[in-house]
Structure 1
Amino acid sequence: MKVDIIRILRQPEYTGENRCEPCTVLNLIIAGLFSSAIAWKSKIGGVTTFGVSVGLIYLCGYLVPGTPRLTKQYLPQAVLRWFGKELEFETLNGLNTASAPTNNTNSQSSQVASHDPGTMTEKIDPHKYLLTERILKPCTDQDDLCLTEIFKEEWNEKMVELATENLDGGKGASALELEAKGDSFEIEQYGDAWTLVSDSQILGQWPSHAALLADIAAAHVLDKRSDQWNELASSQKGQILTGLRLFLEHCPGSKGPVSLNQKTVESCCSSYEVITYSCDETGERLFEQPLE
């Protein structure tokens, strides 16, 4: 019977590794104050109340109903930082733009590589670059920017071609013009992240295989059509390729539609909104960005 009660009360989503330290501390303070008030009339009652409260906090993660929801909604980010619980969303948006996956068991560095064979290293405005290189143009039917027809056609053709091939690390690194003397390249998957790695470094992470395919296809076309492409640093290329994905009208390699969505990302103690651009049929994310 005792075991059954413990099993009923236990909430794994709020205990163990998922325990919210700010919630626990707050509830222990409340339990202490409530027990102290009872102890004024009965010391035994106060001690018993505190013991039961600590047990509930241990099993459930909290004492006051709704604590996790209230903490996410009202607890300041500064307080979460004190406990190391500030929500950090790992944006996987391509070449040289993301951190290394934490479950990587190989001997690669934990830092993203900076392979910059190009000569231009100043900050770049992707839209200005794409307009100058005639990749983007003002839309004819709306106040926005659109892909030029010739680039869109060549990009789509390349994506369809790559979708039928075995996309390996060597081809990916070659298309993105990444060079590492003596290194071999591999494409590896860690959860949702698709990672391009060399023997010793992580070169970039993408939120899906479709996003990686789109970037490699775009790099092929840009190398052929843009005079400045070879002069750019890889970090600049990453910004441009990431921006281009927002102009996709279909999921890379298919005719499936894409759409812009908003979702809530949660940790034990906080939550915030993220904008995603995804393939409707497969759910593959092409772009993701926290909403400020």
Structure 2
Amino acid sequence: MLDALRNPEHTGENRCWPCTAVNGALLAFACAVIGIWLPARRTVRGLVALALGTVGGGVIALRGYVVPGTPRFAPRFVAALPGIDDPHAAGPSDSSPDDPGSLASGADDATGERAADALVDAGVLHAVGDTVHLDERFRERWRAAMADVRNEDLATAVRSVAEHAESVETVEEGRWLVLSGGGPASETWLPRPVAVAEVAAVRALADDGVPVALRAPAASALRTFLQDCPACDVPLAETTTDDCCGSATTNPMAPPETVLACPDCGQRSVTLD
């Protein structure tokens, strides 16, 4: 059970110890404040502080941090401390996730199957023998919707279709959108091309009778039919994560993934394997 809760991106050999120390210090301070100033009996204050310290310490141990957004603000904070080398100095990719997310992150296989069936029933996808084709009329409407989304505030656009997200933040000079449901464990990182493609697909699917609950999973599946970068509108190229956006695995012995990525912005839109 603990392995299912553990976040390998920020624990084990990938743990940022200065960031862990910062989180530990903040947690200790919060426990001290509660233990001293909480308007309650001394015994109650002690129990609340102990509970907070236990839960917070467990989150730091399993997830790497307890303060939301630590991977975004901690590298700059740690770099400013005297005598401490910035563990994230290699570049933006060090704070970005290994597996870029989707509006459909968290959806199970059954939901994915229902979304695929809904796309076929709506005529968005056509099954021909053993192959599946995207309806060209839908493709044109999707492209038009992507052009509209590119001209909007993307965080606002994502928030309008991601009802589960309590906040949406643009980071790394607009390359990523971070959706949060209220804590570190709930964060989903969307590369800009993925965000543009999926928001546009959700909007386009509204005209095809696809149920609201299935539009995000359907939009995620439709990315496999992209031909051009949703963010740059230039043809996508088949490449690997080593060549376009750095290795996408925490295991250095694992081979790079094959992806469709943009030659201009260097971000992937689709992972092929």
Tell me the TM-score normalized by structure 2.
0.52
Unpaired runs of 5+ residues, structure 1, are 1-16, 19-88, 98-113
Shift of 1:200: 4.8
Do the aligned partners of 1:94 and 1:242 also contact (CA within 8 Å) in 2?
yes
Do the aligned partners of 2:155 and 2:170 also contact (CA within 8 Å) in 1?
no
Could you tell me the percent identity over the aligned residues? 19
Q: Secondary structure at the match of 1:95?
A: coil
d(CA) in 1 for partners of 2:102, 2:152: 20
Mapping of residues 21-170 of structure 1, within 5 Å: 90-97=98-105, 122-125=110-113, 126-138=115-127, 144-169=131-156
**Structure 1 residues 175-210: Cα deviation after superposition (integer angstroms, max 9, x where no partner):** 24x157xx5x3233269643223555746322x201
Q: Which of the residues 184, 188, 192 maps onto 1:204?
A: 188
**Structure 1 residues 195-230: Cα deviation after superposition (integer angstroms, max 9, x where no partner):** 223555746322x2011111001011112322x422
Match of 2:218 in 1: 240
**Structure 1 residues 49-93: Cα deviation after superposition (integer angstroms, max 9, x where no partner):** xxxxxxxxxxxxxxxxxxxxxxxxxxxxxxxxxxxxxxxx83213
d(CA) in 1 for partners of 2:118, 2:161: 19
d(CA) in 2 for partners of 1:238, 1:213: 12
Taking a change above 3 Å as real, the CA distance of residues 200 and 137 of structure 1, as seen in their structure-2 partners, is: same
Match of 2:75 in 1: none
Do the aligned partners of 1:95 and 1:203 also contact (CA within 8 Å) in 2?
no
Taking a change above 3 Å as real, the CA distance of residues 179 and 138 of structure 1, as seen in their structure-2 partners, is: closer
d(CA) in 2 for partners of 1:209, 1:179: 19
**Structure 1 residues 77-114: Cα deviation after superposition (integer angstroms, max 9, x where no partner):** xxxxxxxxxxxx832130252xxxxxxxxxxxxxxxx7
Mapping of residues 168-207 of structure 1, within 5 Å: 168-169=155-156, 171-176=157-162, 178-179=163-164, 183=166, 185-189=167-171, 193-200=176-183, 202=186, 204-206=188-190
Match of 1:218 in 2: 201
Q: Secondary structure at the match of 1:272?
A: coil
Match of 1:251 in 2: 229
Taking a change above 3 Å as real, the CA distance of residues 133 and 284 of structure 1, as seen in their structure-2 partners, is: same
**Whose radius of gyration is greater, 1 or 2?**
1
Taking a change above 3 Å as real, the CA distance of residues 223 and 272 of structure 1, as seen in their structure-2 partners, is: same
Do the aligned partners of 2:111 and 2:217 also contact (CA within 8 Å) in 1?
no
Unpaired runs of 5+ residues, structure 2, are 1-12, 15-96
Match of 1:103 in 2: none
d(CA) in 1 for partners of 2:125, 2:216: 17
Shift of 1:251: 1.3
Taking a change above 3 Å as real, the CA distance of residues 286 and 121 of structure 1, as seen in their structure-2 partners, is: closer
Shift of 1:144: 3.0
Higher relative contact order (CA 8 A, sep 6+): 1
Matched, 1:261 2:239: yes
Match of 2:72 in 1: none
Match of 1:106 in 2: none
d(CA) in 2 for partners of 1:268, 1:220: 37
Taking a change above 3 Å as real, the CA distance of residues 253 and 160 of structure 1, as seen in their structure-2 partners, is: farther
Q: Secondary structure at the match of 2:154?
A: coil
Taking a change above 3 Å as real, the CA distance of residues 245 and 135 of structure 1, as seen in their structure-2 partners, is: same
Q: Secondary structure at the match of 2:229?
A: coil
Structure with the largest fraction of helix: 2
Taking a change above 3 Å as real, the CA distance of residues 268 and 172 of structure 1, as seen in their structure-2 partners, is: closer
Shift of 1:150: 2.1
Shifted more, 152-161 versus 258-267: the winner is: 258-267
After TM superposition, what 4+ stretches of structure 1 lie above 6 angstroms from structure 2? none
What RMSD in Å do the two structures reach over aligned CA positions? 3.4
